[in-house]
Amino acid sequence: MRMGVDVGGTNTDAVLMDGTKVVGWFKTPTTPDVTSGITTAMRTVLEQTKIPADRIKAVMIGTTHFTNAVVERKRLMKTAAVRLGLPATECLPPMVDWPPELRDTIGDHKYLVHGGHEFDGREISPLDESEIREVAREIKSKGIRAVAISAVFSPVNSSFEERAAEIIQNEIPDVSISLSHEIGRMGLLERENAAILNACLGDLARAIVESFRKALVEMEIDAPFYLSQNDGTLMSAEFAEKYPVLTFASGPTNSMRGAAFLSGAKDAMVVDVGGTTSDVGMLLRGFPREASVAVDIGGVRTNFRMPDVYSFGLGGGSIISQEPLKIGPQSVGYELITKGLVFGGSVLTATDIAVAGGLADIGDPGAVKGLDAALVRQALDEMQSMVETAVDRMKTSVEPIPLILVGGGVILVSRKVAGASEMVKPEHFPVANAIGAAIAQVGGETDRIFALAELPRDEALAQAREEASEKAKAAGADEETITIVDVDEVPLSYLPSNAVRIRVKAVGDLAL
Amino acid sequence: MRLLHAENVEDIALGAAVLGTGGGGDPYIGKLMGIQAIREFGPVTLLSLDEIDDDALIVPTAMMGAPTVIVEKLPKGDEIIKSFHALESYLGQKITATMSAEAGGLNSVTPLTVAARLRLPMVDCDGMGRAFPELQMVTATLYGVSSTPFAMGDEKGNSVILNTINNRWTETFSRSITIDMGCTALIACYATTGKELKEWGVPNTITLVEEIGRTIREARRSKTNVVEAVRQVGGGFEIFQGKIVDVQRRTEKGFARGEAVFEGVDEYDSQTLKLQFQNENLVAMVDGEIMVSVPDLITVLEAESGEPITTEALRYGFRVTVLGIPCNEKWRTPEGLALVGPRYFGYDIEWVPVEERYGQ
């Protein structure tokens, strides 16, 4: 059996799965330290289902620890950013566009050295090893133990980043190093930013992984555990210690993957209605469509793979204001069960409207019987319109496709949404996110430039597929199950040799 | 005459992306470079065309190269200095000011970084009123002004000076040298006297792009219709509203050529728009008929935020509004149309001004 856990803004959910069957689940409020909520959720599921701990073969956790740390500017290490690219790139040093207080939190330590490659693999400058050693010594003398290394065009040629890492590790044996080519894509500043964010989370990553390990030991669960990544695949505990930044958007991704699994749909829209906001995403071949623009994390511009999710302010706890009629964006959130009218409170919320409209039987329906019928109708129309507008934004064609509803607030969406071929509300919809975590696979991705004048297109594609599959295998995938789930090709303007950027993603089942 | 400060740069870069008609490079890098240069070297003096002496020497500056490389191999910053000094010795005259050759895209901000670093003023004009893919496509060509002596510099300190028999040859040679330099180069070209510039310059474009950028910023803050605000301040017409349903791209002779298909929404329901581009947007066909073409500007804005979308960023699923903006009158002559009209790009059609098709 697998235990899947997902930490949300309001609740932490756990689910126990036996193959494709849901054996039990539990939803508990998310705790400030995050870990206690996770432990409570897991323990309760085991108690309720009376499944012995030794039946659990794997634990998958989707957490918000690392996003929270960046957003709250807490528990971040002092970090040195080393960029290989001189004489180029000098006009815009590392962290030039960071929010000042975040830059200061990690210390604003930046070093530009010679190196980097041109778009076609020529060196910009040869690597100057003594220069790098000098930088390493200075970093060591400052007591900094986290370093991010970024080289120009490292997705095309990573050798300089790797050699620089060797030199720095040699000078500072206990330093943890993040290499930009392993974390981000083409676009120096965004990729460098992703690497720096990853590096500063090093201590926290080790602490969190350790606390998960301890929690499992206490629960007598003797099984490997994995963390959910942004793209819906899993990473091992060891991998998570090195790449915490890849967990940032795992929540919305898990919801969508769970929705896909529960409904059996591969291409569909997913609307996850929460307590304060709803997220809409598109599923393509069972995975969330990825955002194609730069993603802002805590005010820092990054470009690693993130799901394309549109959030809008409609949730179960959304406060209804009148004259003019407005739904949210303020919400009572998890206080719904004390503040909502149907729960004896005095705040008119979206949930109250749903009950008044006969869409749900929650709390005391008598408390909303006296609501003005026109108001209820108007509010229901407005909520429907909000969902339809959001869905329309995210659809990629006029073709109607299934719309899967998940999350605790699904009662708010009652009527058929325009553009949906069918409305699907799967069983276990409240814990679709934990299910998404539990059923996740492992994957690998390759993203680089090929010169089609030198390598024919089908060979380049084959090479990219091979590279991605190898990475999936290295991540722990069972070779027999590896499939290619995405191929993206973009010809590049103004570059000679018919340059094209090819991105391939491969996934496979966890070899347990 | 006024000063450009760091806070003006953001508006300039954003507005310039609207006039970039899908090309012109990455506005984010341009914006950051401009802000850094002003922070380091101080504000830049912007002079209007009529404030320039007839015998002043003005040299436009720009970046040349691949947008995908510019976001990876950022400039050193002082590439242009050697080239500028080399040009001055060559011409035997001190350079009075710089300006933009191409206000559409990041080349509205590039001369600003040069001006800041060299403590020269910048002239409020450009050579296109938009962006175009090839170097000779500057109004100066129409007035017989040579693009050479032409200086190019890279981050390693190399500098090359070209002399050619016509501006088309400059495009050929400089494109090839740019590739050797790693697909990005800083260039100084079309050295011109104040008297000549008053004839060929497209006036007030820096002020215009700043105004467009400011309009977008303020409309977003007040949550009013951003696209409509842009349309008004840019003097344009709404061509289409729709969602992108297909994008095809191929590389031809180093340029990204391609086509995007949009399906209409709201009052454009059941209509289809096809947009063809060569780095910049060339023609917009509605239900098979070319409705807007070069040299008029065709710009694609994200429907809700008004964010200009480059041809490289066009993706299946975006909701957009397409605007058509009349080009500067200098392009509307027979010579102008021969240089940048639809026939040059392979469309055997008579150019019809967008305001004739859409004006009420």
> Cα distance from A487 to chain B (closest Cα, Å)?
15
Q: Is the domain of B171 the same as that of B268?
A: no
User: Chain A within 8 Å of B279 (Cβ-Cβ)?
Assistant: yes
pLDDT of residue A394: 81
pLDDT digits (tens, 9 = 90+) for B180-191: 999 999 999 999
Torsion of CA A372, A373, A374, A380, to 10 degrees: 110
On whether any CB of chain A is under 8 Å from the CB of B314, the answer is no
DSSP type of residue B93: S
**Which tens digit of pLDDT belongs to each residue from B278-314?**
889 999 999 999 999 999 999 999 998 899 999 888 8
Determine, yes or no, domain membership for B23. yes
The pLDDT, as a whole number, for residue A492 is 67
Q: Which among B254, B212, B239, B224 is positioned nearest to B298, based on CA atoms?
A: B239
Please, what's the b/e burial string for B257-296 (b: 16 or more CB within 10 A of its CB; e: otherwise)? bbbbbbbbbeebeeebbbbbbbbbbbbbbbeeebbbbbbb
Please give the class, per CATH, of domain A77-196. alpha beta
Looking up residue B252, the CATH number of its domain turns out to be: 2.40.390.10
B312 vs A: CB within 8 A: yes
- Smallest Cβ–Cβ distance between A88 and the set B73, B312, B317 belongs to B73
Report CA B277 to chain centroid distance, whole Å: 15
Per-residue pLDDT of B69-127, as tens digits, reads: 899 999 999 998 888 888 999 899 999 999 999 999 999 999 999 999 999 999 999 99
Whether residues B236 and B337 fall in one domain? yes
- How many separate domains does chain B show? 2
CATH code assigned at B87: 3.40.1610.10
The per-residue pLDDT string of chain A (512 residues; one tens digit each, 9 = 90 and over) reads 999 999 877 788 999 999 889 999 999 988 888 889 899 999 999 999 999 999 999 999 998 888 888 888 889 999 999 999 999 999 999 999 999 999 999 999 999 999 999 988 899 999 999 999 999 999 999 999 999 999 999 988 899 999 999 999 999 999 999 999 988 888 999 999 999 999 999 999 999 999 899 989 988 999 999 999 988 889 889 989 999 999 988 888 899 999 989 998 888 999 998 888 888 999 988 888 877 677 888 899 998 777 888 888 898 889 999 888 999 888 887 788 889 999 999 999 999 999 999 888 888 999 998 899 999 999 999 999 999 888 887 876 668 889 999 988 888 987 889 889 999 988 888 889 999 999 999 988 888 888 888 888 899 999 999 999 999 998 888 999 999 988 888 776 556 677 788 889 999 998 77
* Predicted local distance difference test score (pLDDT) of residue A376: 93
DSSP A223: S
Q: Do residues A308 and A290 touch, judged by C-beta distance below 8 A? A: yes
Arithmetic mean of pLDDT, B5-34 = 94
Together in a domain, B64 and B155: yes
Q: What is the pLDDT of residues B226-278, one digit of tens each?
A: 999 999 999 999 999 998 888 887 766 666 689 999 999 889 999 999 999 98
In a domain, B94, yes or no: yes
Q: Partners of B276 in the beta sheet?
A: B259, B283
Q: What is the pLDDT of residue B252?
A: 66
Together in a domain, B65 and B166: yes
Domain membership of residue B26 (yes or no) is yes
Residue A494: the pLDDT is 55
Minimal Cβ distance to B319: which of A92, A153, A393: A393
pLDDT value at position A292? 67
Pair B331, B200 in one domain: no
Residue range(s) defining the domain that contains residue B321: 225-358
Say yes or no to pLDDT of B40 above 90: yes
Identify the pLDDT of residue B94: 94
Domain membership of residue B214 (yes or no) is: no
Give me the residue label for tokens 């569909």. A268
Q: Is residue B18 part of a domain?
A: yes
Residues 62-91 of B with CB under 8 A from A: 65-69, 71-77
In a domain, B348, yes or no: yes
For B72, which of A90, A152, A499 is closest by C-beta distance? A152
A501 contacts in chain B (CB < 8 Å): 68
Say if residue B165 is in the same domain as residue B57: yes
* CA–CA separation, A475 and A246 (whole Å): 14
CA distance B53 to chain A (A): 32
Indicate the fold that domain A1-76+201-248 takes in CATH.
Nucleotidyltransferase; domain 5 (3.30.420)
Single out the residue of A21, A23, A24, A28 nearest to residue A6, CA to CA. Answer: A28
Q: What's the pTM value of the predicted model, to 2 decimals?
A: 0.87
Same domain? B20 vs B68: yes
- Residue of A188, A289, A293 with shortest CB distance to B74: A188
Are B101 and B233 in a shared domain?
Answer: no
CA distance A40 to A34: 10
Tell me how far CA of residue A133 lies from CA of A87, A108, A127, A377, in angstroms: 18, 20, 11, 70
Best mutation target, B73, B159, B263, to test chain A (most A CBs within 10 A): B73
